[in-house]
Amino acid sequence: MALPLSQNAKMVLQKRYLEKDSDGTPIESPEELFQRVAQSIAQADRFFDPKANIDKTCAKFLQLMTNLWFLPNSPTLMNAGRPLGQLAACFVLPIEDSMESIFETLKDAAIIHKSGGGTGFSFARIRPEKDAVLSTAGVSSGPLSFMSIFDVATETVKQGGTRRGANMGILRIDHPDIEKFITAKNNLTQLNNFNISVAITNSFIQALENGSDYNLINPRNGKTVTCVSAEKIFDLLIDAAWNSGEPGVIFIDHINRHNPTPQLGQIEATNPCGEQPLLPYESCTLGSINLSKMVTRGAINYKRLAKVVSDSVHFLDNVIEINQYPLPIIKTTSQQTRKIGLGVMGFADLLIQLQIPYDCEAAVSHAEEIMAFIADEAGKASAALAKKRGNFPAFPQSKFDKSTIRHKRNATTTTIAPTGTISIIAGTTSGIEPLFAVAHVRHVLDGQSLPEIHPLFLKIAKKEGFYRPGLIEDIAKTGSVQSIDSIPDWIKQIFRTSHDISPEWHIKIQSAFQKHTDNAVSKTVNFPAEATREDVRKVYLSAYQLGCKGVTIYRYGSRDKQVLNIGMEAQDPAKIAPRPRPIRTQGITERMQTGCGKLYVTVNADTAGMCEVFAQMGKTGGCASSQIEATGRLISLALRSGVKVDAVIKQLVGIRCPSPTWQNGKMVLSCPDAISQVLENLTESDYTDTPSMMGVCPDCGGTIAHEEGCLVCHACGFSKCG
């Protein structure tokens, strides 16, 4: 029987997951991928029972995946049964206040990124900027300077050719450098391989509520450096988030109140998207149940869901055994607590099938009911495994020791993680997010743009009789159905998109899932462009009061410096021509150091954006000069023909010549690479009136959605967390 895969799912699998030969040609089918993964993960049964029926377990795991009932995280799909064998997505590494610790961690992070994982760090133990360094009689450069080093290193390391590294950088609200940290990403050229979050404490919230000051504490000696207004710092945090969506926040005391192994230490950091708090050197294995497949005949099929939860816990526990960990200490630490994170995707699709609007109390009730059921069944499955395989090694001294719980295989069993690409494979909505768009534009390889409609909407539209030619194209212009008069109101209610839903409902749904989730919940609270700073403030405080472990917000268009169109007008490739160059343009010239000498790059813009690039290298003549001139002319032609700046950068970045060099701590590989760096810096800043292209997918030109702490393209599967 053929797999129920959409065209988008097949494209994502082919591009990112299927095993390829040396030429990049896939050498396995999607069916063979799932067989490879199931066969590999089933082998772990033999570690506990030499007579285990591996074929039976393999068939069980294969059914989970081929029915699209459950999918593991991307590293498991990519690497299970292959030589790399690194199957975990989430890692946290410690950073102590010493050069030795910082650079040892940097080395470990590079190894993890190379293996396909993402890393989280707390920089809160590093002494503040300008603090004394006794060993050299100098002064400290502070946490931000070291974050920049980690950022450059991450940019350099490619993850096995399939994934680029992502980081989470966390600083406590009571660190003396907190103001500099909060505003670090106001400049969008900095820390592009980091998500950043502020660790907010209960004492800070109390000071905020009381309108009082609080202490900033030097982590080197535990002494108070100064007292500052909690209101002032919170306003700064809100302003930064309103402007760019960062930093996010984690409620660190909420997290540690639910720390299952406090005897092993306090949790200080999370993975890159914030949903997985971990101890130093811990990893976590993640997977998600497709809730859209748990509905039969208009009702939730709890019998099927219970079986899927049980089999998924078995699968994830096996992954811990099969995993080829990137560092021995990570293997030891991970197997001591055996944390798994079973989550969900397709919640919005489930609500649509039940004809329940996302933004209503019935949806909140269903969220809590479903997650409570999953948590209970996951606990039972973990206990059953513990009876056969033993409790997780840290269990006897854990807080469970004084409770009625006697058997627990995994310190944690549930997490709501991002599902950007695996939800495309599963043909459903991301995580617990609302619909991104009822219709969107998919860009195909021949340059055409094809509008795609949500299959449930199309089915209802035809059944209810309001489908008409051109309807899909009309919806694709904005992605929303709310302004289309021919669509009945009850349909509009159940097909509300993320930007149709008020922030309070986003946070209510997140809180409902968090109540029954061991770890945390990855979700983005979407705001309209006209939202105020006070609106953001209310959501942050509401998230704290409702027991969330963190919150990420995104105000429509804020990070993109442009108003995004969810639908994009198709353009006839045969009619593309460069717009005329105006008589006057404005621009800047930047000097770049290359291995061949100083390169002067001039970038000019007209009222429509960047329109031309000139480059010249000192006194160089001959071939080098002519090739540089040709590069500039072709870039200019592309820009005036409507080619996105990110697409130009993508073609130039990383081109190498025999003489690379360094500038400002970053390697310049060639003249084309130098030009790409100039363009990237300009598109990531407020350069004249030129819009940034951050809202455009660099792979296909589709629209980027801000979901689950990540940037996700629903058209081609591109994702970037960090």
Which residues are marked as active site? 271, 273, 275
The string of DSSP codes covering 13-63 is IIIIIS-B-TTS-B-S-HHHHHHHHHHHHHTTHHHH-TT--HHHHHHHHHH
The continuous run of DSSP H or E covering 194 comes out as strand 194-200
HEC profile of 343-403: EEECHHHHHHHCCCCCCCHHHHHHHHHHHHHHHHHHHHHHHHHHHHHCCCCCHHHCHHHHC
**Residue 140 and residue 149: Cα distance in Å, rounded?**
15
Q: Which helix (H) or strand (E) holds 539?
A: helix 533-545
Residues 6+ apart with CB under 8 A from 483: none
Helix (H) or strand (E) holding 12: helix 7-12
Angle at 204 between CA 200 and CA 206, to 5 degrees: 130
Cα-based torsion angle of the residue sequence 27, 29, 34, 37 in order, rounded to the nearest 10 degrees? 0
- At 23, give phi and psi (nearest 5°): -90, 0
Neighbours of 66 (CB within 10 A): 18
Cα distance between residue 245 and residue 237, in whole Å: 10
DSSP 3-state of 687: coil
Place of tokens 């694709």: 476
Element (H, E) at 603: strand 597-606
CB-CB neighbours of 94 under 10 Å = 17
Cα–Cα dist 42/61, whole Å: 8
Burial 676-698, CB ≥16 within 10 A → b, else e: bbbbbebbbeebbebbbbbbbbb
